[in-house]
């Protein structure tokens, strides 16, 4: 409850500073609209924003689910084979050295301007954090547990599924929490590069027409969605992945 109070207190404080800057400086509305104007635009354009928001939300959720699943499977496969780790880990690291913006035009070329290029972009941007966090946890299973399982005659496969994976679930939870924040970034980048729908496309369209209030309204919707998504993922991860049993 204390954290919630501080969050809303910080939000109100930030809005007050925003309004004070607009009022004291007299900055034109097309450069920095006031909070009240943004709220009015958000209400007046709610149908338009909702239409584009549903597209972005679908891209984000699809990328989050697919990226998490692929990252978890990859981490399990890498933890089970040292040869696979030696072969594929450098490729994973190299994939993070390539700027995401550099991949977006290629994905648009390969998958088109539809929803799939944005889903793949969201998938790629969260794949490494999920894989890295889960793999690190899988490789840090307490040595005593593994020795005891081997003494009791446990096979490598049973040790993996019954001991190492359950013990590493908190690591997967950490990766999923990061993925919930990164997935919207991937979808928006994909929409900026090439799209005809979505909040990213709407923000570019509003910016090109000097409708800064509409751009801010779309940005606020995206920010609220990201916060809510992170909260829900955090609750689910705490309930199902961080359990001590």
Q: What is the mean pLDDT of residues 59-85?
A: 88
Alpha-carbon gap, residue 100 to 81, rounded angstroms: 29
Judged on CB neighbours under 10 Å (0-12, 13-18, 19+), 67 is buried
Place of tokens 């013990």: 167
Nearest residue to 18 via CA among 40, 33, 39: 33
Given a contact cutoff of 8 angstroms between Cβ atoms, the answer to whether 180 and 237 are in contact is no
Is the Cβ–Cβ distance between 15 and 35 less than 8 Å?
yes
Q: How far is the C-alpha of 168 from the C-alpha of 113, rounded, in Å? A: 38
Structure tokens, 19: 């309004």
Measured CA to CA, the distance from residue 86 to residue 218 in angstroms comes to 44
8 A C-beta contact, residue 118 and residue 195: yes
At residue 81, the pLDDT reads 78
**CA 97/CA 136 separation, integer angstroms:** 20
Res. 41: pLDDT tops 80: yes
Give the pLDDT score at 233: 92
Please name each of the domains of the chain with its CATH number: 70-240 (1.10.3720.10)
Report the share of the chain in percent with pLDDT over 90.
24
Kindly provide the b/e burial profile for residues 191-221, where b requires at least 16 CB atoms within 10 angstroms of the residue's own CB.
Answer: bebbbebbbbbbbbebeeeebbbbbbbbbbb
DSSP letter, residue 34: -
Whole-number mean pLDDT of the chain?
84
pLDDT for residue 119 is more than 60: yes
Per-residue pLDDT, averaged over 209-213, amounts to: 86
> What mean pLDDT do residues 166-176 have?
89
140-168 in b/e form (b: 16+ CB < 10 A) is ebeeeeeeebeeeeeeeeebbeebbbebb
User: How confident is residue 98, by pLDDT bands cut at 50, 70 and 90?
Assistant: confident
Predicted pLDDT of residue 14: 79
Tell me which residue of 132, 134, 126 sits closest to 60, measured CA to CA: 126
Position 78 scores a pLDDT of 87
Residue range 177-183: mean pLDDT, rounded = 91
Q: By percentage, how much of the chain surpasses pLDDT 70?
A: 95
pTM: 0.85
Q: Residue range 29-41: average pLDDT?
A: 85
Q: Does 206 have pLDDT greater than 60?
A: yes
pLDDT score for 140:
86
Residue that wins the pLDDT comparison between 81 and 52: 52
pLDDT-derived band at 180, boundaries 50, 70, 90: very high
Confidence tier at 62 by pLDDT (50, 70, 90): very high
């Amino acid at each position: 409850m204390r954290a919630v109070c501080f969050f809303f207190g910080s939000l109100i404080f930030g809005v007050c500073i925003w309004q004070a800057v607009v009022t004291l400086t007299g900055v034109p509305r097309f450069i920095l609209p006031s909070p009240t104007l943004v709220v009015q635009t958000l209400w007046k354009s709610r149908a338009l924003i909702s239409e584009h928001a549903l597209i972005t939300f679908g891209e984000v959720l699809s990328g989050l689910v697919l990226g998490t699943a692929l990252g978890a499977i990859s981490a399990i496969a890498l933890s089970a084979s040292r040869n696979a780790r030696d072969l594929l880990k450098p490729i994973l690291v190299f994939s993070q050295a390539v700027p995401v913006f550099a991949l977006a035009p290629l994905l648009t070329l390969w998958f088109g301007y539809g929803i799939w290029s944005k889903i793949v972009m969201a998938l790629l941007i969260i794949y490494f954090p999920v894989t890295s966090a889960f793999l690190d946890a899988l490789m840090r299973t307490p040595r005593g547990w593994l020795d005891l399982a081997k003494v009791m005659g446990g096979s490598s496969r049973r040790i993996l599924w019954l001991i190492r994976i359950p013990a590493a679930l908190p690591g997967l939870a950490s990766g999923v929490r990061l993925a919930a924040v990164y997935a919207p970034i991937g979808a928006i980048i994909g929409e900026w590069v090439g799209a005809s729908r979505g909040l990213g496309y709407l923000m570019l369209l509003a910016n090109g027409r000097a409708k800064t209030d509409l751009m801010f309204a779309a940005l606020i919707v995206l920010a609220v969605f990201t916060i809510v998504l992170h909260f829900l993922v955090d609750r689910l991860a705490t309930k199902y992945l961080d359990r001590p049993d």
